[in-house]
A = this chain, B = another copy of it.
Amino acid sequence: MAYRITITSNGQTISAEKKDILADRLQQAGVPLNLYCNRRGLCGKCFVEIVSGPRPDAGEKEKSWLGQKGLSAAHRLACQYEVEGDLVINVPISSLKPDVPILPSIPRSGVVPDPAVKKYYLELPQPEISSPGSSFEGILSGLGEKSLKVSMGALSGLGRILKDSGRKVTVTVHEESEVIAVEPGNTLGQNFGLAVDVGTTTLVMELVDVETGRTLDLEAAFNSQSKRGADVISRLTYALAETKKAAELRGLVLETLNQMARRLFVRNKISPGSVYEVVLSGNTVMGHLLLGIPVDSLATAPYQAVFSRLPSLGAQEVGLAIHPQGKAYLAPNIQSFVGGDISSGILAVQLARRMGHWLYIDLGTNGEIVLKAGEKLIATSTAAGPAFEGMNISCGMPALPGAIYKAEDTGSIETSTIGNSPAQGVCGTGLIDLIAAFLARGEVAPGGAIRNPEKRLPVAPGIVLTQDDVRQMQLACAAIKSGLRLMLKSNGLSIEDLEGIFIAGAFGSYLNVRNSMALGLLPRMDEKRVVFVGNASLAGSRLLLVAQEARREVESLVQRVRYMSLASERQFQDFYIRALEFASWP
């Protein structure tokens, strides 16, 4: 016999059979109930108000939650409530899943927090002397579980913690399969994680409340490996020389990451022991170096990575100073030269879920391009060289205070520097603007030659562009342009077919679209269809930290992406040479 449930909060009326669990019916009806503890009555997050209908007595625990949350005595946990008659209910907003934006710049990017690390507060009964069982079994039964993994570290303090806390403890569970911490008292709300973008040049780290999905603070630092080589290839070469050198690179990046974490913890008055997980997105070489996995196979044909998808590792084993039983998760690699930074980036922009055809471009020393062509996902990488990062340019510098990042021809060449500091050099975006301006003036030929006999273009006091600088940018743009054209062509697409292009990378934020189009770095198209998404790799890390569903998605995503090796495409050399000319396209 069917009962009728009227939901006053949204006006819906649904039906239910006798003994149905209210939470299940609400969820089936599309009500986004917060079922954090997976219906085990452990988290107290799915209270609904029973306005009319059977209202069985609330248990001790339910009553204590009602008090804490200031809810009326008419509220019951939907996950424990069995339907026994017609109902009128009201679902408070506080019982719905929170929704947190991951990348504010693009639409449809919300995520419901469902972190891999969850906390449960338990008040355990005293063991009976005739059959005391074990402390850990007591915790399992408090969690309503039959068997979970546990490490020796998590067990070692257990006896004392139970005793000292009067058996009131907070249990931290990883991936619903392993108890990683038992803490005295109620430490709900103290559940933090770190989302990291492990860039070749820059490391960016966010401190995130994984329960709410909110970023609390951010740190950025140079990757101190840079002193052993500016780009991935020189890092690789350095690591190959000796095992010791690979270990040195590992130590350098770990030291910086741990310093960044420490600063975040101190500034936010958070104990490292309340931080249970780190998610890291980086290119394949960065990932291998970080884990101390030899990079030999990445240096010679067929350029094979040792791993792509990895299960969660112990943070301690990786070398990250968070909770001793904490975990580390690496965004999976797509291919040897399309790494976890790209998989997390396309995850963050939800590339695979969009309608139509899209491009995702990460502009850096390696330019990575992912094309979504209908149902297909194709990735490639192209060696752009370090020009976009201001490297190997006579007056080049990274995008730091004092860098000319913007230039405009208003009769004379007007430049802007980051932080309005005196100009110390030119970063990648400045270089693009400058070359576009000189090209428009005719001082640089479409073929790249500087037309004046000195072959030098003065920019600001002490700063000039040389012929070589222009050549560097020419090579970088050609790499991207030829990659884009070849990818589109071999998938039977033209620019007009694209819904849009995502530009990821710190470089993107200051990029002048019109000038990029003028140089041919980006195709000519409606500017509104070019979406700058900033550090999408970092956003992907945050998403992976906060939502388990995202991990499953990215792991299946990397298996779907087909890799296209530009080098093995016959037409590539032809496309590349033709792309060397500064010219808009198509």
Contact = CB atoms under 8 A, between A and B. Distances in A.
Interface in A316-344: 317-318, 333, 335-336
Interface in A107-146: 126-138
A152 interface: yes
Nearest to A300: B163
Contact of A306 (B136, B149, B296, B303): B136
B565 A130 contact: yes
Given A152-B317, A291-B152, A132 B304 contact: yes
Given A297-B159, A333-B134, A149 B305 contact: no
A335 B293 contact: no
A294 B160 contact: yes
Contacts of A152: 291-293, 313, 317-318
Contact of A129 (B127, B128, B295, B301): B301
A93 interface: no
Contact of A563 (B131, B301, B333, B335): B131
A311 interface: yes
Interface string A391-424: 0000000000000000000000000000000000
Nearest to A568: B130
Most buried by B among A131, A304, A307: A304
B149 A311 contact: yes
A74 B404 CA distance: 77
Contact of A133 (B158, B292, B296, B308): B308
B132 A307 contact: no
Contact of A155 (B137, B158, B291, B563): B291
Contacts of A333: 134
A355 interface: no
Given A155-B306, A311-B149, A135 B565 contact: no
A135 B333 CA distance: 12
A304 B147 contact: no
Interface in A266-315: 291-297, 301-311, 313
Contacts of A565: 129-131
A333 B137 CA distance: 11
Contact of A302 (B128, B301, B335): B128
A150 interface: yes
A357 B283 CA distance: 65
A136 B308 contact: yes
Most buried by B among A129, A295, A568: A129
B137 A297 contact: no
Contacts of A214: none
A10 interface: no
A159 B304 contact: yes
A156 interface: yes
16 contacts: A129-B568, A131-B335, A132-B303, A132-B335, A134-B305, A136-B308, A138-B304, A147-B309, A152-B292, A155-B293, A156-B291, A157-B294, A158-B306, A159-B296, A159-B297, A159-B304
Given A128-B302, A133-B308, 18 more contacts: A129-B303, A129-B565, A130-B563, A131-B563, A131-B565, A132-B302, A132-B303, A132-B305, A133-B305, A134-B333, A134-B336, A147-B311, A150-B311, A152-B293, A155-B293, A157-B294, A159-B294, A159-B295
**What 3 pairs between A and B have smallest CB-CB spacing?**
A159-B297, A134-B305, A129-B302
